[in-house]
Amino acid sequence: MQRTKIKVLIIRAGGTNRDFDVYACLKGLGVSARIKRINDTELRSDLLSYHALIFPGGFAYGDYVRAGAILGKKVMSTLWDEILKFRKERRPILGICNGFQVLVEASLLPGTLGKNGVPEAALASNSSGRFECRWVTLKKKQASKCIFTKQLKEIARFPVAHGEGRFIMSDARALEKLEENGQIALVYSAPDGTPANGRYPLNPNGSSLDIAGICDPSGTIFGLMPHPENAFFGYQLPDWSFNRKFPLYGDGYGIFESMIEYIETEVLR
């Protein structure tokens, strides 16, 4: 099957700034991609014509109230029925950085839709008290159900760029359940893959259990704070200018390729 038949929608709002970065990754994989604003009058009617949905990074609506809060509630108020159908049909939904915050605020992550639409988790201000913009090392959790990490290397490097990325939940038992359910997909680590154990700057924001990304119980909704779209091409890597044989693709390629392979084998079967 030609990959151009795969349709992926990127949703943006005022303040989103990584939408074209994600678009470039999808076009690099030969996929048909489109960017639409959340207030596009045609969005609700044609959302279900797409095979995957992505909420990219940035500062949607200026991150007033909380990061991702306004866009998250706007998704719930305008697209909820369509999003739930996406979820039921196990079409992949990806949230990157601000997009991860949106998915949490919309109660799509951790994935039980919360109680009365109240988020079960939060992405709080970084423990450092500052905006963190740096490259980090990530370790893939082998027991995770996440369909987005199947083709990802066990140890990967992505950049982070956020002020509110500290993943927290209401109690320790809730975190344990994420681990037991295989919902923790990526954790911050040392370059050799050993646990960060909360150490700064290996864990750049103070996230509980070093969490960098989680999925819902089905594995088809995934949110992460690091930016795979900014580690997709080899020339985006921090050491590319010192390496004449830098690879065509960086580690972020694995996230998007995993999503497309899942669509080919599961959504379009």
Q: Which residues contact 50 (CB under 8 A, 6 or more apart)?
A: 7, 8, 9, 34, 91
Closest among 203, 187, 163 to 68, alpha carbons compared = 163
Our answer to whether residue 261 is catalytic in this structure is no
- Distance spanning both ends of the chain, measured CA to CA: 11
pLDDT per residue, tens digit, the chain (269 aa), is: 579 899 999 999 999 999 999 999 999 999 999 999 999 999 999 999 999 999 999 999 999 999 999 999 999 999 999 999 999 999 999 999 999 999 999 999 998 776 566 788 999 999 999 999 999 999 999 999 999 999 999 999 999 999 999 999 988 899 999 999 999 999 999 999 999 999 999 999 999 999 999 999 999 999 999 999 999 999 999 887 777 778 889 999 999 999 999 999 999 98
Bridge partners, 223 (sequence order): 95, 214
Buried b (16+ CB within 10 A) or exposed e, 129-139: eeebeebbbbb
* Among 105, 132, 164, 229, the one annotated catalytic: 229
The dihedral formed by the CA atoms of 46, 5, 218 and 58, expressed in degrees to the nearest 10 = -70
* Among 51, 105, 146, 227, the one annotated catalytic: 227
Our answer to whether residue 25 is catalytic in this structure is no
Instruction: Domains for the chain: give ranges and CATH numbers.
Output: 3-267 (3.40.50.880)
* Among 25, 51, 97, 215, the one annotated catalytic: 97
Our answer to whether residue 229 is catalytic in this structure is yes
